[in-house]
Structure 1
Amino acid sequence: MARTRPGDAGAKVLKAASALFYRDGIHAVGVDTVAAEAGVTKAALYGNFRSKSGLVVAYLRERDRRWQEEIDRITAAHPDPRERVLAVFDAYEAWLARDGYRGCAFLNATSEYPDPGDPVREVVRHHKTALHGYLRAQLLRREPERAEALADELMLLLEGAAVTSVIAQSSQPFDTAKRLARTLTA
């Protein structure tokens, strides 16, 4: 194995873990597998992340960061708040299609970490709360009196479409969800 330069190991481990955890499931992938895939030693993995749980938290935080960038990029093209909300459905669909309809990484992690107090669940709550907050902020610009309830309804549509798209291995559930979102926000 070629020596990894200091500072490179963390990025390599995170990249390998991201692919493996999403593809195979978090509990199904051991740190030996992640280290081997990253081309680093287990000591380098633990030196950067301290534990597998720390690595899982870092994986989800990085995925959240990338998701926020994606949302910002896609919605920036839409000055109208309603169109920004609808663009979130497009972003969600594109994200899941690109990842092969393996589901929402955050919902997948929740099913593997049932303890609500686990740090993994805190990252998931942060991610979902941020998405709800984004929808609510856009809706406040159009219908302040209904923004909270509409954001709740749109989250249910998004999450339901995400789960159903995995089962169907199709983007069609997002078409349905977006049509319903159009009606709700009209």
Structure 2
Amino acid sequence: MQEKGGKKALIIDVATELFGKYGYHAVGVDWIIREAGISKKTLYNHFNSKENLIIEVLINRDKECFTSLNQLLMDVSDPLMKLELIFNWHDEWFNQQTFTGCIFAKAASEFPNKGEEINKIATQQKTGLMNRIEKILEEIVLSEKAKSIAPIVIMLLDGATLSAQVIGNKNSANDAWEVVKQLLK
């Protein structure tokens, strides 16, 4: 028998996969319960609502991405190499068998109300990545230029994500990196 934390992690994993593939509104709790092989009571023991589950999924994914990027960039001092590694990280993600697009972008589009917690978490994730990129850029270009380029880098990464997801351009992260290199000249 799994311990309590094990069931919660299972529910989050199953919900993350289903939300990523099919969206938040399309996936109901009954579908999650069926795929996880748990009872409705078990789900509601861990999450008092579907919204609460979505919030946990987004927080969990944000932590995973943040940790993964931190580990990747930890020992790198060259800022240009750090930026390139961020694009390489995306390239690797786009080419995984399980790639279904950005769950934060999906959350922001399905929950467009800026006052909703789900939208706030999605926005914070994008803002956090942009701030991180801006700090790296400040080591390469003047602070003012870094501030204007960072949102463009996010736009290129988001566009690359959509290109990989929608039209199957698995090289889109590398294409976006080529554009960023031109912006930095």
TM-score for the superposition, normalised by structure 1:
0.90
Q: Aligned-pair distance for 1:167?
A: 2.2
Structure 2: any 5+ residue segments left out of the alignment?
none
Find the counterpart in structure 2 of residue 26 from structure 1.
24
Assess if the C-alpha contact under 8 Å between 1:103 and 1:162 holds in 2: yes
| Larger relative contact order, structure 1 or 2 (CA cutoff 8 Å, min sep 6) | 2
Find the counterpart in structure 1 of residue 183 from structure 2.
184
Whole-angstrom CA distance in 2 between matches of 1:7 and 1:75: 30
Distance 1:100 1:35, change over 3 A: closer
Find the counterpart in structure 2 of residue 148 from structure 1.
147
SS of residue in 2 equivalent to 1:98: coil
Q: Aligned-pair distance for 1:185?
A: 2.1
Whole-angstrom CA distance in 2 between matches of 1:173 and 1:4: 41
Q: Aligned-pair distance for 1:5?
A: 3.3
Q: Deviation string for 1:6-41 (max 9, x for gaps)?
A: 332211111111111112221111111212222222
Q: Deviation string for 1:105-162 (max 9, x for gaps)?
A: 1111222212221111011011001100110111122222311011122111111111
Whole-angstrom CA distance in 1 between matches of 2:62 and 2:5: 22
Whole-angstrom CA distance in 2 between matches of 1:145 and 1:134: 15
Whole-angstrom CA distance in 2 between matches of 1:78 and 1:131: 17
Find the counterpart in structure 2 of residue 17 from structure 1.
15
TM-score for the superposition, normalised by structure 2:
0.91
Whole-angstrom CA distance in 1 between matches of 2:14 and 2:152: 35
Whole-angstrom CA distance in 1 between matches of 2:152 and 2:4: 47
1:87 matched to 2:85? The reply is: yes
Find the counterpart in structure 1 of residue 100 from structure 2.
102
SS of residue in 1 equivalent to 2:119: helix
Instruction: Show the 5 A alignment for 1:125-144.
Output: 125-143=123-141, 144=143
Q: Tell me which of 45, 50, 65 is aligned to 1:67.
A: 65
Distance 1:175 1:7, change over 3 A: closer
Letter in 2 for 1:96: F
Q: Aligned-pair distance for 1:99?
A: 5.2
How many residues of Structure 1 are paired with residues of Structure 2 in the alignment? 184
Find the counterpart in structure 1 of residue 162 from structure 2.
163
Give every structure 1 segment of 4 or more consecutive aligned residues whose post-TM-superposition deviation is greater than 4 Å: none
- Taking only aligned residues, the RMSD between alpha carbons, in angstroms, comes to 1.7
SS of residue in 2 equivalent to 1:122: helix
Whole-angstrom CA distance in 1 between matches of 2:7 and 2:61: 18
Letter in 2 for 1:168: I
Find the counterpart in structure 1 of residue 174 from structure 2.
175
Whole-angstrom CA distance in 1 between matches of 2:177 and 2:165: 17
Find the counterpart in structure 2 of residue 46 from structure 1.
44
Letter in 2 for 1:39: G
Assess if the C-alpha contact under 8 Å between 1:4 and 1:40 holds in 2: no
Structure 1: any 5+ residue segments left out of the alignment?
none
Q: Identity over the aligned pairs, expressed in percent?
A: 27
